[in-house]
Amino acid sequence: MPDPTAPHVADLIREMEASLYDAGGIGLAAPQIGVSQRVILISVPASRMTEDPDDGPLALTALVNPELTPIGDGRATGMEGCLSIPGMRGEVERWSRVRITAVTPEGRPVDTVMAGMRARVLQHEIDHLDGILYLDRMTDFTRFGYVEELIEADMRERPPRSLETIPEEQVR
Ligand code: NI
């Protein structure tokens, strides 16, 4: 594990923040910019949060050496996208609630519970640290495709209300 307060980690996080900002995403893992370090960025806009009390908007947060443990056996499906798979979306089942431990870039330990969209972004980004893409987690490839096609299919096959399940922003 890198020293989370080392200058090269601060440089890495600055570079990741710039990439995430340019891409308009809500999460990024260091391997996505070619750096093999266990560092992730996550954020959750209010528009994407669920109603779970352990979910909610999250300002851009950097986590070093994040580890998660599922809490309970609840699972939830949702659409995900990824900077590493541009223009595509797929439906992925994730743990609904997880315990997360990590260290901040200031060296402060984190030990908290996240649910809903927070938990989804976290699981997506930690997977990147282990070389796992959301595609590897998919079971129903009829729920995978280009964003525009999925939105069109959704309009044909489902009530308009379900359009809310197609996110505006990508989970990176
Ligand atoms: Ni991704």
Instruction: Give the pLDDT score at 131.
Output: 96
Count of domains observed in the chain: 1
Going from the Cα of 125 to the center of ligand 1, the distance in angstroms, rounded, reads: 6
Residue 155 covered by a domain: yes
Question: If 0-12 CB within 10 Å is exposed, 13-18 middle and 19+ buried, where does residue 147 land?
Answer: middle
Task: Quickly list DSSP for 6-61.
Answer: SHHHHHHHHHHHHHHHHHT-SEEEGGGGT--SSEEEEEE-GGG--S-TT---EEEE
Active-site residue (options: 67, 91, 125, 157): 125
Known catalytic membership, residue 125: yes
Residue 33 covered by a domain: yes
User: Domain with 140 in it: what CATH number?
Assistant: 3.90.45.10
Supply the pTM of this predicted model: 0.88
Residue 147 domain boundaries: 7-165
Residue 1 covered by a domain: no
Residue 2 covered by a domain: no
Going from the Cα of 133 to the center of ligand 1, the distance in angstroms, rounded, reads: 7
Instruction: Give the pLDDT score at 157.
Output: 67
Q: Pick from 60, 161, 33, 56: which is nearest to 114 by CA?
A: 56
Helices within 24-169 (DSSP H only):
116-129, 134-137, 147-157
Going from the Cα of 52 to the center of ligand 1, the distance in angstroms, rounded, reads: 23
Question: pLDDT (tens digit, 9 = 90+) per residue, 30-55?
Answer: 999 999 999 999 999 888 888 999 99
Residue 147 covered by a domain: yes
